[in-house]
Amino acid sequence: MNLTFLIDMNLSPGWVDRFAREGWTAIHWSEVGDARATDAVVMEHARARGQVVFTHDLDFGAILAHTNATGPSVIQVRAQNVTPEPLGDLVVAVVRDQAERLAAGALVTVDEATMRVRVLPISQR
């Protein structure tokens, strides 16, 4: 599965290289957009290009839930150290495991111990 990732400003550009080692295309937001852009602008950019947003910002999940959106897919990483060195292997394993859901539309939340997947749209109950 050929997923393309948009790395949010709150994560290291080093993630681009980490994803590239897996043969995945990734770009850091700093290469394509204004560092002060709102999360909604980042999400629209990713949605228009079929990219998966990779972020440390929980607001992306809230936006997906609030708007009942079907995309873009978002991976939220929740950890103290969110650099590629300690989390790279875990994130790669999660992407491989959840590739079909990410391609179809999902919110994936990952921390050092757990993973949660919500298929989009996230229903408001």
**In the chain, what are the domain boundaries?**
4-119
Distance (Å, rounded) from C-alpha 125 to C-alpha 119? 14
Distance (Å, rounded) from C-alpha 47 to C-alpha 39? 12
Structure tokens, 118? 């919500």
User: What is the H or E stretch that residue 49 is in?
Assistant: helix 39-49
Note the pLDDT of residue 67: 92
- 90 neighbors 76 (Cβ within 8 angstroms): no
- Read off the pLDDT band of 76 (50, 70, 90): very high
Other beta carbons within 10 angstroms of residue 68's beta carbon come to 11
Note the pLDDT of residue 123: 73
Note the pLDDT of residue 61: 93
Region 107-112: what's the mean pLDDT?
Answer: 95
- Read off the pLDDT band of 84 (50, 70, 90): very high
Distance (Å, rounded) from C-alpha 80 to C-alpha 70? 29
- 27 neighbors 53 (Cβ within 8 angstroms): no
Asked whether the predicted pLDDT for residue 53 surpasses 90, the reply is yes
Alpha-carbon distances, residue 37 vs 68, 71, 72, 88 (angstroms) = 22, 18, 17, 26
pTM of the model: 0.95
Note the pLDDT of residue 18: 98
Region 61-83: what's the mean pLDDT?
Answer: 94
